[in-house]
Amino acid sequence: MIRIVPVVLLLLCGCIAGRVQAQQPAADTDAVEMDRDALQQLIAKARTSDTGTTPPAAKRSERDAGVNPPPTSQDLARMNEEQCLSYLSQRHIRTHRPDFEMPLVKMPLLLDSPIEGVTVAAKWPGNRKGSVMDCRLIAALVEVCRFCADRGVDRIEFYSAWRAPKKGHPSRHNEGLAIDIRWFTRKDGLSIDLLDHYERNFHQPPCDDEPTSDEGIFLRDLACHLHRTRTFNVVLTPNADEAHTNHFHFDITPGASWHIIR
Ligand SMILES: [Zn+2]
């Protein structure tokens, strides 16, 4: 029960910031205003749901078919810059430091190469700051991309990673440790769009959903895989609230030992 309060606070303060319209970048419409009723509902949900807690440790076979399980969000959060850059280098991921200041981002990087064969790109690359990620977020995307590559997806597009701080709405986005992803493209040309294909079940635990389309199953399975493997501290799906009807929010929360999916 003690865990509930931080979870609720996180949902209020975290990401989360984005009441995103269907075709607009999240960076432009960033403020979620959650009213008092919504807060009470969220608390009630958290008290009656087990989805705000850390999942049981994933079996090695679930986490990785290979020898080494992927790092959890805690493992990633503890990495220093040298360790993180080495992790990326071992996976042939090329990056460069932005040529502009990103004061809140500890290890700011821009991606120069695919990850596990999957291109991860901003939908609106003109927003250069929005593409900046902390090195540890890029390291977490390895598991996202591995899951996607195994299912024939070779392109992921996101609204933004970094976003400017807004008064009263601190966010992992401000540190480059969160990303809002909406679009996936398969090698055969099939496009998967969260807004169209996520079979949303408002306020229900995503991993209890039973989508019927191939696209819906892919999207649910991705979110639940990332929760089960503890790759991110926070996985928000379109089930979470109105602000997330068109994207996944994934983030690493340094110092946190919990993992939530909504
Ligand atoms: Zn977000």
Distance 24 CA to ligand 1 centre (A): 14
Quickly tell me which residue has 């004061």 as its tokens: 103
Rounded to an integer, what distance in angstroms lies between the CA atom of residue 128 and that of residue 98? 9
How far does residue 206's CA lie from ligand 1's centre (Å)? 17
Q: Which sequence spans correspond to the domains of the chain?
A: 4-261
Count CB neighbours of 129 within 10 A. Answer: 19
What's the gap in Å between 76 CA and the centre of ligand 1?
19
User: Helix 4-13 vs helix 36-48: angle between axes, to the nearest 10 degrees?
Assistant: 140
Q: What angle do CA 86, 92, 93 make, to 5 degrees?
A: 80
Confidence of residue 54 (pLDDT cuts 50, 70, 90): low
The dihedral through the CA atoms of 228, 230, 236, 240 has a sign that is: positive
How far does the centroid of ligand 1 lie from the alpha carbon of residue 162, in Å?
Answer: 9
Q: CA dihedral in degrees (195, 199, 201, 205; nearest 10)?
A: -100
Quote the CA–CA distance of 77 and 73 in Å, as a whole number: 6
Find the 63 Cα to ligand 1 centroid distance in Å: 24
pLDDT at 13 over 90: no
Task: Quickly state the pLDDT bin for 73 (edges 50, 70, 90).
Answer: very high
User: Has residue 5 got a pLDDT over 60?
Assistant: no
Query: How many angstroms is it from 66 CA to the middle of ligand 1?
Result: 30
Q: What is the mean pLDDT of residues 16-27?
A: 35
Q: How far is the CA of 50 from the centre of ligand 1 (A)?
A: 22
**Which residues partner with 192 through β-bridges?**
184
Question: Is a pLDDT exceeding 50 seen at residue 42?
Answer: no
Exposed, middle or buried, 194 (CB in 10 Å: 0-12/13-18/19+)? buried
pLDDT in tens, 105-157: 999 999 999 999 999 999 998 999 999 999 999 999 999 999 999 999 999 99
* Range name among 59-63, 189-193, 217-221, 256-260 with the lowest pLDDT average: 59-63
- CB-hemisphere CA count at 13 Å for 88? 28
Ligand 1 centroid vs 14 CA: distance in angstroms? 8
Alpha carbon of 95 to ligand 1 centroid (Å) = 22
Tell me: pLDDT of 2 over 60. Answer: no
Dihedral pair phi/psi, residue 258, rounded to 5°: -105, 165
Residue 236 tokens read as 């928000």
For residue 5, the one-letter residue type is V
**Any residues with CB less than 8 A from the CB of 210 and at least 6 apart, and which?**
none
Q: Is the pLDDT of residue 30 over 80?
A: no
Show the tokens assigned to 60.
């090695």
Q: How far is the CA of 83 from the centre of ligand 1 (A)?
A: 26
pTM of the full predicted structure? Answer: 0.79
**Average pLDDT of the residues in 175-199:** 98
CA of 27 to the centre of ligand 1 (A): 9
CA of 185 to the centre of ligand 1 (A): 21
- What's the chain's average pLDDT? 82
pLDDT of residue 55: 54
Identify the residue with better confidence: 11 or 92: 92
Cα 156 to ligand 1 centroid, rounded to whole Å: 15
